């Protein structure tokens, strides 16, 4: 689905028009704008849009939640709630109708674009899972019907011919499934070639063995108990078993997933059981991969939802400062000293806002590979000194009791012998993000950065004595929108883009980043650049 047909349910005309404008620019089609729940329900009776943007508070008798509940009685259309409220009771009630997400008014285009993209991915994953479920149901039904028909045909044949003739006609050695037959005591008396391939036993080694050898287990697992119980039920009740998935045991002791079905047959007035076994290793792998993909999509959705919440705070904070101080200046009668302070606050907030926008644009350009890698030769030591001076002269972290230390390879301190041929702009960007990140998560101690030269390789590093990172979160920190600290009351600003920008930049430069960290003691980030 490349574009959505969207129904907007919003009683504020200006917001409705803005949403329509945003959606049109994104390539989506707004099928209608209605101001009330009643009109939305009427529209849905004859139309089926791909997505509904629904305001929770609406004009009329119905609110957005009630309207969605009524629509869901006849049509399952993804709904995205719009709200300017933070009432927990109302939000809990909204969750009951399972919306695809929430957008906080006033809606920003980037918020809308991100959450619609999340909706697209969720719909795709849900559709794949539903199609796969239906596919499995068809396979089970077809397989069961085929098995029942085959067993009935064999029962008729067994009444007419001797035991050996029946065994030969039961299945040929070229069958695609493993076919095993055993008596009411579990003793195996037929074993085809596919069974040898699947379980690793040759006919001469397995015949006369007990069927339980195929489901042996050191710890009597549930799979083992299930297999043995199924065998006993078929013998005792002389009935056809349903298809069952469980783990069997290979001759080398390894467990393998199989689908098994059995039927009881009478041969010369003796009860025997025909067991059909199919290797489902590949199918299980596909299911795991599909589940993993779904989990990855869900994690991505959660991370992006957290990002939307974070960016709302990050953007509003500097904007509130700019607007607030501008209002104070507009009032007049301000002393020169206060006016200078106000100007500094506005400038600082503006620079902070610019930094946020730059990060978002950087991530977008890097993920699209729009940035070019432009090499030039320069002195590493002079380059490092410029970075040191930049941060020492910055007032952004002047209130933190953190010492900045630069260390370079003393054996290569001569400016003529420390030449590096790479992109200095991107390298400076990487260092700035890493040092800025170190300051952000350090309240005391020191931040050390530098490099060591090994022949034609420069190993750069940034080391801090901050809060550190838990082992299970070391990979998360490099994902877009990911942060090691994600609770709502976190003490550290940021949108989780800095380290993802570093990773993408180094990827363009042909390098990789690694991190060593210990909670409470700090972190060290390393990357290597080759000449």
Q: How far is CA 142 from CA 136, 138, 139, in A?
A: 10, 6, 5
Q: What is the pLDDT of residue 175?
A: 65
**337 φ, ψ (degrees, to nearest 5):** -65, -45
Q: What is the pLDDT of residue 446?
A: 93
**Tens digits of per-residue pLDDT, 425-454?**
889 989 988 998 898 888 889 999 999 888
Q: Which helix (H) or strand (E) holds 236?
A: helix 222-237
Q: Which domains does the chain show, CATH number per domain?
A: 5-108 (3.40.50.2300), 161-279 (3.30.450.20), 311-365 (1.10.287.130), 376-530 (3.30.565.10)
- End-to-end Cα distance, the chain: 45
**Tens digits of per-residue pLDDT, 70-89?**
998 998 888 888 887 666 77
Q: Which helix (H) or strand (E) holds 504?
A: helix 498-508
More confident residue, 139 or 406: 406
> How confident is residue 233, by pLDDT bands cut at 50, 70 and 90?
confident
User: What mean pLDDT, rounded, does the chain reach?
Assistant: 79
More confident residue, 304 or 178: 178
> How confident is residue 386, by pLDDT bands cut at 50, 70 and 90?
very high
> How confident is residue 321, by pLDDT bands cut at 50, 70 and 90?
confident
**Tens digits of per-residue pLDDT, 112-138?**
888 888 888 877 777 788 788 888 878
Q: What is the pLDDT of residue 307?
A: 62
pLDDT tops 80 at residue 480: no
Q: Strand 79-83 and strand 51-55: pairing? A: parallel
Tokens linked to 415: 């400016």
Q: Beta partners for 266?
A: 271
C-alpha span between 53 and 83 (Å, rounded): 10
Lowest mean pLDDT among 4-13, 218-227, 405-414: 218-227
C-alpha span between 209 and 380 (Å, rounded): 74
Of 26-40, 118-132, 295-309, 361-375, where does the model show the most confidence?
Answer: 26-40
Q: Which residues contact 531 (CB under 8 A, 6 or more apart)?
A: 419, 420, 421, 422, 456, 457, 458
Give the closest residue to 503 by CA, choosing from 362, 376, 400: 362
Stretch 421-426: mean pLDDT, rounded?
A: 89
Lowest mean pLDDT among 180-184, 292-296, 523-527: 292-296
Specify the long-range contacts of residues 145-152, CB closer than 8 Å, at least 24 apart.
147/240, 147/261, 147/263, 147/276, 148/240, 151/240, 151/263, 151/265, 151/274
pLDDT tops 60 at residue 230: yes
> How confident is residue 32, by pLDDT bands cut at 50, 70 and 90?
very high
Stretch 357-368: mean pLDDT, rounded?
A: 65
Lowest mean pLDDT among 8-22, 165-179, 195-209, 271-285: 165-179
**Tens digits of per-residue pLDDT, 393-419?**
877 777 788 899 998 875 555 555 688
**Tens digits of per-residue pLDDT, 334-354?**
777 777 777 877 877 776 677
Q: What is the pLDDT of residue 507?
A: 87
Percentage above 90 pLDDT, the chain: 13
Q: Which residues contact 44 (CB under 8 A, 6 or more apart)?
A: 7, 71, 74, 75, 77
């Amino acid at each position: 689905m490349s574009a959505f047909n969207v129904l907007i349910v919003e009683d504020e005309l200006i917001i409705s028009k803005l949403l329509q404008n945003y959606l049109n620019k994104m390539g989506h089609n707004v099928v209608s704008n209605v101001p009330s729940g009643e009109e939305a329900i009427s529209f849905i009776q004859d139309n089926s849009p791909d997505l509904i943007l629904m305001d929770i508070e609406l004009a009329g008798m119905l609110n957005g939640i009630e309207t969605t509940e009524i629509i869901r009685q006849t049509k399952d259309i993804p709904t995205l709630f719009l709200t300017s409220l933070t009432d927990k009771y109302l939000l809990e009630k909204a969750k009951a109708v399972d919306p695809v997400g929430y957008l906080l008014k006033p809606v920003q285009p980037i918020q809308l674009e991100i959450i619609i993209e999340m909706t697209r991915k969720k719909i795709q994953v849900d559709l794949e899972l539903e199609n796969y479920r239906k596919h499995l149901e068809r396979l089970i039904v077809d397989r069961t019907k085929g098995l029942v028909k085959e067993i009935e045909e064999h029962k008729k044949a067994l009444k007419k011919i001797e035991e050996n003739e029946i065994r030969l006609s039961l299945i040929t050695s070229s069958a695609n499934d493993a076919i095993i037959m055993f008596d009411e005591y579990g003793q195996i008396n037929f074993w085809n070639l596919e069974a040898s391939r699947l379980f690793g036993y040759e006919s001469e080694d397995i015949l006369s063995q007990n069927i339980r050898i195929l489901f042996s287990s050191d710890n009597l697992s549930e799979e083992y108990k299930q297999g043995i119980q199924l065998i006993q039920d078929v013998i005792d009740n002389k009935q056809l078993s349903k298809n069952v998935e469980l783990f069997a045991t290979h001759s080398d002791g390894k467990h393998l997933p199989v689908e098994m079905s059995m039927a009881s047959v009478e041969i010369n007035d003796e009860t025997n059981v025909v067991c059909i076994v199919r290797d489902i290793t590949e199918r299980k792998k596909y299911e795991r991969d599909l589940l993993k993909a779904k989990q990855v999509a869900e994690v991505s959705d959660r991370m992006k939802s957290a990002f939307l919440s974070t960016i709302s705070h990050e953007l509003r904070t500097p904007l509130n400062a700019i607007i607030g101080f501008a209002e104070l200046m507009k009032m007049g009668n301000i002393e020169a000293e206060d006016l200078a302070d106000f100007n500094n606050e506005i400038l600082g907030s503006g620079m902070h806002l610019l930094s946020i926008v730059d990060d978002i644009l950087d991530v977008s350009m890097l993920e699209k590979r729009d940035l070019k890698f432009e090499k030039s030769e320069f002195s590493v030591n002079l380059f490092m000194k410029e970075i040191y001076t930049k941060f020492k002269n910055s007032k952004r972290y002047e209130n933190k009791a953190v010492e900045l230390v630069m260390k370079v390879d003393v054996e290569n301190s001569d400016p003529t012998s420390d030449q590096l041929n790479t992109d200095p702009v991107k390298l400076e960007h990487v260092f700035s993000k890493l040092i800025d990140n170190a300051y952000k998560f350090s309240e005391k101690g020191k931040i050390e950065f530098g490099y060591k030269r090994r022949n034609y390789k420069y190993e750069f590093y940034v080391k801090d004595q901050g809060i550190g990172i838990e082992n299970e979160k070391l990979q998360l920190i490099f994902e877009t929108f990911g942060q090691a600290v994600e609770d709502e009351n976190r003490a550290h600003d940021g949108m989780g883009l800095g380290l993802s920008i570093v990773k993408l930049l180094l990827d363009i430069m042909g390098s990789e980043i690694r991190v060593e960290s210990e909670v409470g003691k700090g972190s060290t980030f390393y990357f290597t650049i080759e000449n």
